[in-house]
Chain A
């Protein structure tokens, strides 16, 4: 009987202690997650955030004028040699879409690369912060030393832009040639494009070539319904996909990815 009388108190004391421990843990985690120093008050943080959003000085982006693309894969090859990308994987590539039935047929090209999204899903899921958005220019980069190759980001990316480097066993993707653009050079794919289909520049500057093109043309981005706000824009892209095969006016659609991934996922 004595034991039973004692027990509830014991338990209550323990639950209270546990509650205290949990509260402390939450406070600790909260201070880790909030940007800036833990000592700064919430309102200070909000002010900082507002001012950061107001002044975006550099947001690199690309416009791909599909009308000027001839599907020559010069960009694919330039990218391969720039980074010595292993066989079977690509940072940048060109897809072909063939559609229709003879004699009413068409073929279009779709150069692809990382979209350097303003709302990057890959960054959201990275457990080690190896993938991050650079504040100074909006480029989504991968810190290879921190990446653990969990491949979570490869699933999160709606554009299949990421791959597991089979040699180094880390996840890699297009980084807009950080080493070139930080020295004022154009990315390698832009530099080599024979038709001038790839145009690179600062989207935050209204006078840049990319901003002017976007302002003057009907542009589109890939899978805008994902809410990722890509920074790679397309002019006159054909978004026909294999699912459109069931449309009576097309009947035949073939997507050639030119990658080891034969299917566009």
Chain B
């Protein structure tokens, strides 16, 4: 998985998987707290997120550890703490893995798992999950942005972009999992209402996040293009004619953002604009999140490669 650059596919996959997992847990915990922590439509959304969220984070972290060549050296990260974004991030990540697994365990069908005691614990852990998930989602962007020697990355907005993409792909993972596993009897009116009700919450949030992500990408490109010097030359790699342009415009922007955004908007708009009815077929809830996740991966790929393939101009 060597691409001829210091950071290869393992790192790119880690950035994507950890971001998505952190986004999933953050979204799940927010949904749980939004619904007051009890049962109901928010609870079922939160449960899908909680149960699926830790997997990508753990898989990504394992990939990252094996990328080091000698995996046990990763323990050296936990002998010190300093202000390097990677040091802070590794502590955040370790804490988050523990807390997200704990959070997931609270959603397993233990005896009496609907009791007040369990749901109060779920609420407490959810309060910790939101900030720790956000810190994992945002530190990867800070990590890339910290270096003047990598002009493509050296922008505060990369962290914002990664955080929004993390929550958006996390949301997509929840929609995807729910569409695959939710057993719903659409002939029962109450069940149908709850299924479409929670579907609307998820789709509307995802549309909002996709809109924000497009906005942040626009700002990134606009400022890079309007400046002179290293950043201007670096951003040429994703502008039309650049080495990564097709992947960026076709994969990230079109497949990952514009197409899913338009499709979800089509289903969300009636309820959003004039209080109509939200109904989306299950196939849409499978295909659209897949596109968002592929787009999220390609975003990490394009950003990480573009940063490594470009450098400061002049000497």
Contact = CB atoms under 8 A, between A and B. Distances in A.
A185 interface: no
A169 B66 CA distance: 12
Interface stretch (A44-52, A172-180, A219-227): A219-227
A42 interface: no
Given A10-B120, A241-B314, A152 B86 contact: yes
Given A148-B68, A156-B146, A223-B312, A127 B6 contact: no
A175 B311 CA distance: 24
A226 B74 contact: no
Interface residues of A, number: 42
Interface stretch (B77-85, B196-204, B207-215): B77-85
Contacts of B74: 148
Interface string A8-39: 00110011001000000000010011000000
B70 A128 contact: no
Contacts of B148: 121, 158, 226-227
Contacts of B315: 110, 222-223, 239, 241, 264
B279 interface: no
B87 A154 contact: no
B300 interface: no
A126 interface: yes
Contact of B73 (A121, A129, A148, A154): A148
Contact of B86 (A127, A160, A239, A243): A127
Interface in A120-148: 121, 124-130, 146-148
Given A125-B147, A152-B84, A169 B76 contact: no
A60 to B, nearest CB: 23
Contacts of A126: 82, 84
Contact of A151 (B6, B81, B120): B6
Interface string B82-125: 11111100100000000000000000000000001000100110
Of all A-B residue pairs in the complex, the 3 with the closest CB atoms, nearest first, are A265-B311, A127-B87, A158-B149
Interface of B: 6-7, 68-70, 73-74, 76-77, 79-87, 90, 116, 120, 123-124, 127-128, 143, 146-150, 233, 307-308, 310-315
Interface of A: 3, 10-11, 14-15, 18, 29, 32-33, 110, 121, 124-130, 146-152, 154-158, 160, 164, 169, 222-223, 226-227, 239, 241, 243, 264-265
